[in-house]
């Protein structure tokens, strides 16, 4: 079985090499910091954003078909970076199907 090649940890300013997304030092901490961003403030902002931007950006762009968005996606992965997380210019409305496809493709690119 082939081993994965090592790459730098995805935690900001960490240069440790790992076969996963984060090194041992940052795996749990990064997960916790990302989790803590999805709080009541996020739920409030997400709801307001979807009211202002109700259509899935991907489907409307490609097919001009109106499909309701249910997810506020971060265009560039924030990886726990609060500034990028809260930057509304980095948000886009997506339906669950488009968001899942984008996430799956992004995860594949990480490996």
User: Does 27 reside within a domain?
Assistant: yes
**Number of separate domains in the chain:** 1
Q: Which is nearest to 12 in space by CA: 34, 30, 31, 35?
A: 30
User: Does 18 reside within a domain?
Assistant: no
User: Does 60 reside within a domain?
Assistant: yes
User: Does 13 reside within a domain?
Assistant: no
Can you give the C-alpha Rg of the chain in angstroms?
Answer: 16
Identify which has the larger pLDDT, 82 or 29: 82
User: Does 52 reside within a domain?
Assistant: yes
Q: How confident is the model at residue 57 (pLDDT cuts 50, 70, 90)?
A: very high
- Quote the domain boundaries for residue 101: 23-110
Give the predicted TM-score (pTM) of the model: 0.66
Specify the pLDDT at position 110: 60
Specify the pLDDT at position 82: 92
């Amino acid at each position: 079985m082939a081993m994965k090649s090592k790459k730098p940890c995805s935690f900001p300013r960490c240069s440790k090499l790992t076969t996963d997304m984060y090194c041992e030092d940052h795996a749990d901490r990064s997960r916790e910091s990302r989790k803590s961003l999805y709080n009541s403030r996020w739920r409030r902002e997400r709801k307001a954003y979807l009211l202002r931007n109700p259509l899935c950006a991907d489907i409307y762009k490609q097919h001009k078909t109106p499909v309701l968005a249910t997810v506020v996606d971060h265009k560039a992965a924030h990886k726990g970076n609060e500034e990028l997380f809260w930057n509304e210019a980095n948000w886009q409305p997506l339906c669950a199907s488009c968001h899942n496809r984008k996430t799956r493709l992004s995860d594949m690119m990480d490996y």
